[in-house]
Amino acid sequence: MTGDFPFPVPDLSSLASVTRRLAATAAAYDRDGTFPAEGIRAAHEAGLLTATVGERYGGPALGVADTARILHALGEGDPSVALIAAMSLAVHRRQAMRPHWPEELYGQVLAEAASRPVLLNHVRVEPELGSPARGGLPSTVARRTPDGWSLSGRKRFATGVEGLDWLLVWATTDEPTPRVGTFVVPGTAPGIEITHRWDHLGLRASGSHDIALHDVEIPEGNVIDLAGHGAEAEQDNRAGAALHLPLAALYLGVARAAQGYVHRFAHERIPANLGHPVARTERFRRVAGEIALRLDLAEHLVFTGAERVDGADGSYAPEHALGARVLADRHATEAVALGLRLLGNPGLSRDNPLERHFRDVQCAPVHAPQEDTALLAIGAAALGTGSERPT
């Protein structure tokens, strides 16, 4: 399969045009809460959905820094599209770094992705378990059948599920000695029930619905990383720099979009009692400076960190990535809130994008590991205790 599917190297210099294309439809998708098909198509046509496919498969194999730039641009245009794309990019990146898929199965994924948008996502969170980032094992069960496996269970927050081609479902086997693994389920497989319960404050078009799996059958070979119960089966909160930093960049893109609207408002708003744009007032200039300071520093942290990860010199510890994401998320949410308070009632009106940007950026701290878990890992490293969990 090596090099069988040549994928174009995305032109990152044209990302601004993709941002504009996504921004043109973002409000409508947000209002309706529908799957952002047009935005996903735009990302595919720009070669962004396969940007992290490994070189051995004919892919561009873009690194963490370029992935962060892509998600920053997509996030500025439509963060729902960006988050759906981020999940696929993360899957391809992991396969490029450590091939672990069955070759034939991954070859099928790439063959489809060469001609149309193909979306993948890990489906791990469960109603009872919550986020795997806090430990625990799935109650979703994979039972052996004569031809493979049958999966039953419930999952939460399956981002983009209405458009997913492949669901990577985390489940426990019903064997005498149970094992845990990821079961690769076609998005069109019979027995997948989408609840359509996603009615969120932000990222409304991400379609992160709950799903139920009712005896969903897959072939025997559609399994990744099947292992015994234990620490190796749990989520490592420290080892995700390749996802933490691009996710932070995504929400910084949202904050930049909000900043852009604040600037336009400041230059266009001319109160009768002033006779000139409010951009010239001390109040607007001071808050604009606060916003710029937060976003400039956050982007420096994220993009410099991503370049160091790509440099692979070993000097950038996992805790550095966690810390960069914590601070970037704080700065992004604070920057948008500052803009909202500056504009007052006009900022809260649904006839402009700032209200939507404010809602979307609230999703930044929600992604696992959440801030308390990240700080625990950072503090354990700082103290040299060598454990994320208290004893």
Return d(Cα 293, Cα 152) in angstroms, integer.
49
Return d(Cα 132, Cα 213) in angstroms, integer.
19
What pTM was computed for the model? 0.94
Return d(Cα 367, Cα 362) in angstroms, integer.
11
Residue 353 token pair: 């994008």
Q: What is the mean pLDDT of the chain?
A: 93
Q: For CA atoms 151, 156, 161, 162, give the dihedral sign.
A: positive
End-to-end Cα distance, the chain: 47
* Residue 339 clears pLDDT 80, i.e. is over it: yes
Amino acid at 65: A
* Residue 289 clears pLDDT 90, i.e. is over it: yes
At 217, give phi and psi (nearest 5°): -95, 135
Instruction: Give 55 or 391, the one with higher predicted confidence.
Output: 55
The residues, any chain, with a CB within 8 Å of residue 276's CB and separated by 6 or more, are 270
Q: Look at strands 166-173 and 148-158 and give their pairing.
A: unpaired
* Residue 81 clears pLDDT 80, i.e. is over it: yes
Return d(Cα 54, Cα 365) in angstroms, integer.
30
Respond yes or no on whether the N-terminal peptide bond of residue 369 is cis (omega within 30° of 0). Answer: yes
Please, are residues 143 and 161 in contact by the beta-carbon 8 Å criterion?
no
**What is the average per-residue pLDDT within 62-73?**
98
| Tens of pLDDT, residues 235-281 | 555 557 788 999 999 999 999 999 999 999 999 999 999 999 999 99
Half-sphere exposure of 252 (CA within 13 A, CB side): 29
Q: What is the pLDDT of residue 131?
A: 64
Instruction: Give 3 or 231, the one with higher predicted confidence.
Output: 3
* 3-class SS of residue 16: helix
CB atoms within 10 A of CB 6: 12
